[in-house]
Amino acid sequence: MENKENLKRRVLLYISRGANTLDKLLQVCNGIYPNELKFLLNELKDKNLVKEENDFFVVDKNCIEYLKIVDVNRLEMNKINEKFLKMYHELPIPHPLDYEWRWNLDNLKKLFTAIINKHPFNNLKIGFLGAPIAAIYFSIVKNFENLNFQLTLIDRNEEIIRYIRNNSILNNQIKTICHDLQYEFKNGLGKNDIIIMDPPWYVAFHKIFISRASSILQPETGFVYSSLFPTNTRPNAIYERMEILEIFIKSGLHLVSLTPSFFKYETPHFESKSLEASGIRLESHWRYGDLIILQSTKLLRPIIFGDFIVENFVWKTVRFDKKLIKIKISPFEEQYIRPRIIQILDKSSILESVSRRHPYRPYVDMWTSDNEIFHLTGRNIIYFVLNLYSSGENIQQIVEKISKKYGVQRKKIDEDIKEIVNFVETNIVRRE
């Protein structure tokens, strides 16, 4: 059963919205027995929070202030949406290694409205796990309407975190933590009333996200709003969904509702390129996800303690304008190894898939935001070269630094460095 104090608060809210008789309250109080609801109403009357007038319950005016209610109908959503769209087009382009499919604007408005209608309190603590677009939208609403939400985004995407921190409006509205959820939280992050999360669509990642959410969610009164992949995502999707629901239960989370096709995702640039390489051009966004809402119980607990590594690689990012290049870093590469960029695919460098299960994935050392893949030798050297080059240094400056770093003569590496830079300029960045 719901925490008693939380239930009292919710009953006050329902009465203020017009559920002002016992019969009406029973329709919205999730199956509470009539005698129990009557006892709770008597307690509220004893505290002068509720009174009866002509057989109707009425909430005291002081109680309305106590509830700190946010009325969605009074928010200037059109202006909020305009502000969001302006920022949205400034965001770094998504990269396949970040599993970044973004909810569209209509979805974000619908999600915000659904949450605030259910929890219309102006002192909510909301955490976002792998849902940076939602975090940005809620931050804009908070700023525009001067709300008292406490917002925290936890995400491993360095580019998105950097954008938020460099934006004066967003940085003042939300706390950002750049963290890979495969690794446990090192510091106490407090407890949130609500967690909004969008895990990559694989069971292992759902397990990680659920465990991390459980560790920073209020027991008994907390809610999780999460995406869940649809039943036709892959051959075993139905059974994987059953496994995920079982993980929720083991974590002490109670299923409140499941809404099919609630989320609509915008097709990211890398997926469009992948489909085009397969001969498919789509006119509209096609990917949907289900919304699952869960409530915490007294049994709330993480089922993973410590780190839980699904992908044991370090990728570092180099940015050329809007294009992102990620390079897999080797922990052992300390000597100079002749750097080479090697084509993996025969006809094109663009992988015709975005699936984590693709057989070529283990051989990829360099991956672009156009879904181009390459194998490398001298991975760390190539990252060092491209990082310097993207920062504005010329080839001779780069050769000098490589020579000093690895203790090799400049004439031995000059051509190597030129080849790498020319390949990237000609085949990846494609600047004229």
Whole-model pTM: value is 0.88
Angle, nearest 10°, between helix axes 379-390 and 395-406?
A: 140
Among residues 296, 323, 347, which one ends one of the domains?
A: 296
Lowest mean pLDDT among 113-122, 144-153, 237-246: 113-122
Do 49 and 162 belong together in one domain?
no
**pLDDT, mean of residues 396-409:** 93
The verdict on residue 396 lying in a domain is yes
Do 63 and 80 belong together in one domain?
no
CA distance 370 to 2: 48
Give pLDDT, residue 1: 62
Query: What's the N-to-C CA distance of the chain in angstroms?
Result: 65
Among residues 268, 296, 324, which one ends one of the domains?
A: 296
The verdict on residue 305 lying in a domain is no
The verdict on residue 301 lying in a domain is no
Do 242 and 347 belong together in one domain?
no
Do 389 and 291 belong together in one domain?
no
- The answer for residues whose C-beta is within 8 angstroms of residue 116's C-beta and 6 or more apart is 70, 72
Q: What tokens were used for 53? A: 């007038």
Do 195 and 285 belong together in one domain?
yes
The verdict on residue 309 lying in a domain is no
Q: Report yes or no: 111 and 134 within 8 Å, Cβ to Cβ.
A: yes
Do 188 and 246 belong together in one domain?
yes
Average pLDDT, the chain: 91
The domain that holds 30 is classified in CATH as: 1.10.10.10
The domain that holds 276 is classified in CATH as: 3.40.50.150
Do 123 and 154 belong together in one domain?
yes
Range of the domain at 113: 72-296
What confidence tens digit (pLDDT) does each residue in 139-185 have?
999 999 888 899 999 999 999 999 999 999 999 999 999 999 999 99
Do 46 and 78 belong together in one domain?
no
* Domain count of the fold of the chain: 3
Give pLDDT, residue 146: 87
Among residues 266, 296, 326, which one ends one of the domains?
A: 296
CA atoms within 13 A on the CB side of 42: 6
Give pLDDT, residue 64: 64
